[in-house]
Amino acid sequence: MTPAPPPDSPPARATTSLWRTGRLVALLIVAVFTAVYLLTLFDESAPFGGKHLALVRIEGVITDSRETIDELERYAKDPSVLGIVLRIDSPGGAVVPAQEIYETVNRLRADGKKVVVSMGTVAASGGYYIAAASDKIVASPGTMTGSIGVIMEIPNVEGLMKKVGVDSIVIKSGLHKDTGSPFRQMNPEERALLQSVLDDVHQQFIEAVAKGRGLEIVDVTRLADGRVFTGRQAKAAGLVDQLGDLRDAIHAAADLVHIEGEPEVVETQPRFSLKGLLQSKMFGNGVVGFPTGVRLEYRMAF
């Protein structure tokens, strides 16, 4: 049996050193995993405590409101977040998500949160609809905004179907159940029905802008023919409050909530997902897919 080396011998010192190194490595691994776990719980970039602003981004075509509303409501419950800067870079999108976000911004303001919108390259149609609910709108002079209107695009493939020899057989229980079918021409009565739907949704847009901006409905109606404005034109028309960039919007929000000096800004960092990787900015936060059926959109045509 080989006797153990003396405590101060080179082999003993080497064994002790290896044991200490192993313990240090284990502690480092535990620390790394702990840090990663904490980052999954707290993904905001601002420090804990204090009084600061939150930055929420709406980018791309608006097809879903869930993530934006969840983010807004989370900041609404945070007493350290005094105000929210909503960065909009979107040509608009589906009607209902834009309306839902608009109403969420209204609720936040009613609960005492200040909301300032910063317009990016484009904040038109549904993007402007959301902006109209804020306390203040800041746009760059060259921002494309406005486009107060509704659009419905229905593809018609009847000619193609005839060329390839394919017939579409429709069995329906109501006269207008297949209105908007891409497999046949639309008749005048159906067009009139859909036009009445668009007119009503358009009027909802006008009323939302008038309410949010404190304007008369007749004045908004004159601007609500779908035209696009630059940021400078929009300011002259009363649709925008101030010309400036994101930094200007942040400082405008800081002034509203009485934060002195350079404000701290918290922003939720997007988490990796395969769905998010496959989606381009063109499609926003919604589902990428082939458009089917009749869809009403507050969207700038492009």
Q: Is residue 37 pLDDT above 50, yes or no?
A: no
| Residue 63 in this model has a pLDDT that exceeds 80 | yes
The structural domains of the chain, ordered by start, are: 52-147+224-299 (3.90.226.10)
Q: Which two tokens stand for residue 35?
A: 């840090």
Reported as a single tens digit per residue, the pLDDT across 223-273 is: 999 999 999 999 999 999 999 999 999 999 999 999 998 899 999 876 555
- pLDDT digits over 38-51, tens only? 444 444 444 445 68
Does the pLDDT of residue 199 top 60, yes or no?
yes
Whether 112 contacts 79, CB under 8 Å: no
CA 251 to chain centre: 21
- Comparing 295 with 156, which gets the higher pLDDT? 156
Summarised one tens digit per residue, pLDDT across range 101-145 is: 999 999 999 999 999 999 999 999 999 999 999 999 999 999 999
Maximum CA extent, the chain: 104
The residues facing 129 across adjacent strands are none
Q: Catalytic residue positions? A: 125, 177
- For helices 188-213 and 95-110, what crossing angle results, to 10°? 20
Whole-prediction pTM: 0.76
* CA angle, residues 27, 30, 32, in degrees to nearest 5: 110
Cα dihedral sign, 252-258-263-264: negative
For residue 123 the two structure tokens come to 């904040």
Within 10 A of 113 (CB to CB), how many other CB atoms are there? 20
Average pLDDT, the chain: 83
- pLDDT for 44 equals 43
Mean pLDDT to the nearest integer, 8-29 = 61
